[in-house]
């Protein structure tokens, strides 16, 4: 019994704490930060519609969601009137850029999380899965130094001789939490879909593709008849389960990542979910092995520096 317990403990320690290169986290920070930037930029022109004084949901209407404590304790910090609201968004965009570039990365991650959660708590009805994923992943990123790779912070430290050129390994527990979060998205959605009659009889994709408010490019010809619709419905269930479960196996990981990328790009073309699909596609990066990220980045830099040289 003690042996089994020790084995579990060792596996736990190895999985969460065995130091690893921060390359994956660094690349994820850049791509994920860019998705957040797009999302915040998309909110900017409609800020008064959803967050202003006379917004479609007013500040006091949201009180019902939160316990009766001071609004500041629940990060309800978004100003209601112009020009303060405009300045808030401009500041949020600047902080997002700092996060992408890795300038004061720890501080910018915390500030970005506070800015995003304040937006969410000001109007939680202007949200979907994309906003949830951004918020949750940012929360986890607070607890690690995601600027330990590919950041200006590190670049300056290396220039000053305060850090070695080779990336220093860090404890990967936050990366593991992010991986678990992404896998949970797929498994939870399958779990919630399984009791549905349309998912059981194979017609769910027919109704999903009919959502008028989600339509983008008309790809319904790909699901021409009832058999193709059934095939697509069961493939979604099977595919999402496979992503959540099989992605943990080393020899299947890149195949699964490729499949997941195609799935999200397919949804992105057929439906209006820009931010959620981008956030999920960015989330797949977190599963790429750091050694491969380092090789990839080194290749990109080599190509860039070669193309910059005169012929």
Partner 1 sequence: MRHCYSFFVTLRQKFISTFIIFNVLAILIAPVKTVKDQNLIQKPFYYYALWTRLLQRWNLFAPDPRKDATYYRVEVTFNDFSQYMWRRPYPTNWGFFYRHLCYNWQKYDLAVTHMEYPQFWDDIVNFIAHQDFITKPIKRIRLSKMKSPWPPPKLEGYAFTEVKDLIWQDVTVFVYDFENKKYL
Does 19 interact with partner 1 (rule: CB under 8 A)?
Answer: no
Nearer to partner 1, 157 or 215 (CB): 215
Does 241 interact with partner 1 (rule: CB under 8 A)?
Answer: no
Interacting residues with partner 1 between 162 and 201 (CB under 8 A): 171, 173, 177, 180-181, 184-185, 188-189, 192-199
- Least CB distance to partner 1 at residue 36 (A): 13
- Least CB distance to partner 1 at residue 124 (A): 8
Interacting residues with partner 1 between 101 and 160 (CB under 8 A): 117, 120-121, 125-129, 131-132, 135-136, 139, 143
Nearer to partner 1, 206 or 259 (CB): 206
- Least CB distance to partner 1 at residue 238 (A): 15
* Residue 183: closest CA among 131, 233, 259, 241: 241
- Least CB distance to partner 1 at residue 87 (A): 19
Number of residues that bind partner 1 (CB under 8 A): 76
Does 235 interact with partner 1 (rule: CB under 8 A)?
Answer: no
Nearer to partner 1, 64 or 306 (CB): 64
Interacting residues with partner 1 between 253 and 272 (CB under 8 A): 272
Which one among 34, 37, 49, 163 touches partner 1, defined by CB under 8 A?
Answer: 49
Give the residue carrying structure tokens 């269930």.
237
Which one among 6, 11, 17, 82 touches partner 1, defined by CB under 8 A?
Answer: 17
Does 212 interact with partner 1 (rule: CB under 8 A)?
Answer: yes
Q: What's the chain look like in SS3?
A: CHHHHHHHHHHHHHHHHCCECCHHHHHHHHHHHHHHHHHHHHHHHHHHHHCCCCCCCCHHHHHHHCCCCCHHHHCCCCCCCCCHHHHHHHHHHHHHHHHHHCCCHHHHHHHHHHHHHHHHHHCCCCCCHHHHHHHHHHHHHCCCCCCCCCCHHHHHHHHCCCCCCCCCCECCHHHHHHHHHHHHHHHHHHHHHCCCHHHHHCCHHHHHHHCHHHECCCCHHHHCCHHHHHHHHHHHHHHHHHHHHHCCCHHHHHHHHHHHHHHHHHHHHHECCHHHHHHHHHHHHHHCCHHHHHHHHHHHHHHHHHHHCCC
Nearer to partner 1, 18 or 292 (CB): 18
Binding region for partner 1 (CB under 8 A) out of 52-60, 147-155, 157-165, 292-300: 52-60
């Amino acid at each position: 019994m003690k042996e089994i317990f020790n084995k579990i403990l060792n596996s736990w320690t190895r999985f969460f704490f065995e130091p690893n290169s921060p390359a994956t986290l660094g690349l994820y920070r850049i791509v994920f930060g860019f998705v957040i930037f797009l999302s915040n930029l998309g909110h900017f022109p409609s800020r008064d519609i959803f967050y202003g004084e006379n917004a479609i949901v007013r500040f006091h209407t949201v009180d019902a969601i939160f316990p009766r404590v001071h609004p500041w304790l629940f990060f309800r910090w978004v100003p209601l009137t112009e020009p303060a609201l405009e300045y808030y968004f401009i500041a949020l965009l600047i902080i997002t850029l700092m996060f992408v570039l890795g300038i004061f990365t720890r501080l910018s991650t915390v500030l970005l999380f506070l800015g995003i959660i304040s937006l969410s708590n000001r109007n939680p009805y202007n949200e979907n899965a994309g906003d949830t994923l951004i918020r949750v992943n940012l929360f986890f990123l607070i607890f690690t130094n995601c600027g330990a790779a590919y950041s200006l912070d590190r670049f300056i430290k290396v220039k000053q001789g305060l850090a070695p050129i080779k990336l220093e390994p860090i404890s990967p527990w936050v990366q593991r939490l992010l991986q678990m979060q992404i896998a949970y998205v797929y498994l939870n959605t399958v779990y919630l879909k399984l009791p549905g009659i349309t998912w059981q009889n194979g017609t769910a994709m027919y109704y999903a593709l009919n959502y008028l408010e989600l339509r983008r490019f008309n790809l319904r010809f790909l699901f021409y008849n009832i058999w193709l619709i059934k095939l697509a419905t069961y493939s979604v269930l099977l595919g999402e389960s496979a992503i959540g479960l099989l992605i943990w196996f080393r020899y299947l990981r890149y195949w699964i990542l490729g499949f997941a990328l195609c799935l999200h790009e397919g949804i992105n073309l057929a439906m209006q979910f820009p931010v959620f699909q981008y956030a999920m596609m960015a989330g797949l990066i977190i599963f790429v092995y750091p050694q491969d990220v380092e090789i990839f980045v080194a290749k990109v830099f080599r190509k860039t520096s070669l193309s910059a040289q005169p012929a």
